[in-house]
Chains A and B, each alone.
Chain A
């Protein structure tokens, strides 16, 4: 009961956000970047349900457009992180010996580096932009995926069923991709969902520091940055992106836990 509750709550939150993102492609109440100085910092009303910002832009339209940035950063960085992490983890876990030693020490080094610092470094060395942000966050995720995959492969490699299919003539490629991967899929999916929420947080943090998504494109982190001066005067400007970040992170965390529990057959 508790398990399905976690999963459905997570699905509900993520589903609602995904819906918001899809709608934002076709419809936002106003053009997200259209300024109207006469209407700046208006409180929520019927015409602007979440109020307006310091340039008179509609906050609802901007947070809706911000979901696109959030999902793009999340999915692209998770894709990079999981692809590289999967390759590293499989080689390290299956080949073992010096390959394992080499790859794992390298990921340890990456892991020892504070994540946000690494992202800051990468973004500031290159020109801050959306693609740099995605790349930086993706690299940040490699160690966690590599570790999850490596430990899974290491554990499954010695399983009796692997010995059995070897006895039927299975080669390494078949063993890794057909036999072992389905058995560690749940932990990979769990890590992916968790990383997704981290990606959104890191993107918000980088954008808040002015190093992520560049103005005038809407990003939740940027909106927080821009709104802090008006915190007392226009709290809705801060609350809207803040609550959405919270909801997204919570949603993906719940989803991650829910998936883990649901897929754990032995649980």
Chain B
């Protein structure tokens, strides 16, 4: 795994993280297992996977927002100065949240407080970290609204969320998130609740923030087609593990894992008009069904006998492009086989 060649430390360095779900019977089942990833300064990294693959929990674990049933079992999450977020404690985490790392969620309707004006909400977010006066916070909110492309920012301050469109609400959320100029923005499915045209606008906005402020983005999505356009690197997660990672263009052009290839084949495209969409048959194995071998073996067209016995290790499929698949060991055949 490489950083994008920058000399400075990554903004986020997740090392071998394992998250467990405590079951009633006292057993704990891994929901995220052995995941490592780095986000460099100004980099946009996408985590892609279907529902239940653990991508959201992984993102929540960064800021210590895991639901009570999930335990941080192993690993480390380091921020830029080398401090481990997972050992920071409540007060320390509060200082990091919003200030160094901010997070935005899927549904901007429910993520905004229905009883406060949007201006007040953004101003509160600013005042959480910076002791400035209400008027100062308001002036900064107007500037932020302008920055995220909201129309007539002054009058918008006094509007309640229910009067705004979905795209505007998500822009308000982003304004809140970047209000204290965090180094890293974690966006958990930020466009899923929005119209297709608005989705592109929101992604373009994140790209703009990266270019203007050097904000790194960790973008979580189930939509490989969507993130491919804006990400520098892509991680594909399946059943709690990263199965493939690499530069976005590389992963899309030459997927090295059958699961990634399956995801790509299931994206509807104008060029595929008339031909059948190819879904990945079956579904993600439930937590208790995950055994020794590769979790994707039950759905994989290329599964071999050893796939169910031993978990595949990471192998290189290109320059800084890696995948966890036994097929990789038969170098050269892999790319051909899953096409």
- Chain A residues with CB under 8 Å of chain B are 159-161, 163-171, 174, 178-179, 182-183, 185, 265
Contacts and interface: CB of A to CB of B under 8 A. Distances in A.
B128 A174 contact: yes
Interface of B: 63, 65, 94-99, 102-105, 107, 110-116, 124-125, 128-129, 162, 173, 176-177, 179
Contacts of A178: 116, 124
Nearest to A163: B65
Contacts of A161: 110-114
A159 B113 CA distance: 9
A147 to B, nearest CB: 21
A265 B109 CA distance: 14
A159 to B, nearest CB: 7
A166 B97 contact: yes
B162 A168 contact: no
Given A167-B63, A168-B98, A160 B111 contact: yes
Nearest first, the 9 A-B pairs at minimum CB distance are A168-B98, A160-B110, A169-B98, A169-B97, A167-B103, A182-B115, A164-B111, A161-B113, A183-B115
Contacts of A183: 113-115
A167 B63 CA distance: 7
Contact of B125 (A160, A163, A165): A165
A162 to B, nearest CB: 8
A166 B65 contact: yes
A171 to B, nearest CB: 6
Contacts of B98: 167-169
B116 A168 contact: no
B25 to A, nearest CB: 22
A165 B124 CA distance: 9
Contacts of B63: 167
A168 B176 contact: yes
Contacts of B128: 168-170, 174
Nearest to B63: A167
7 contacts: A160-B105, A161-B114, A165-B124, A167-B102, A167-B103, A179-B116, A182-B115
A165 B103 CA distance: 9
B110 A168 contact: no
A261 B65 CA distance: 35
A180 to B, nearest CB: 9
Residue of B94, B105, B113 with most chain A CB atoms under a 10 A cut-off: B113
Contact of B115 (A168, A174, A185): A185
Contacts of A265: 114, 162
Given A160-B107, A174-B124, A178-B124, A169 B94 contact: yes
Given A159-B110, A160-B111, A169 B105 contact: no
B59 to A, nearest CB: 10
A164 B115 contact: no
Contact of A169 (B95, B111, B112, B115): B95
Contact of A164 (B96, B99, B116, B173): B173
Nearest to A181: B115
A185 B116 CA distance: 12
Which interface residue of B96, B114, B162 has the most chain A CB atoms within 10 A?
B114
Nearest to A161: B113
Contact of A168 (B97, B107, B114): B97
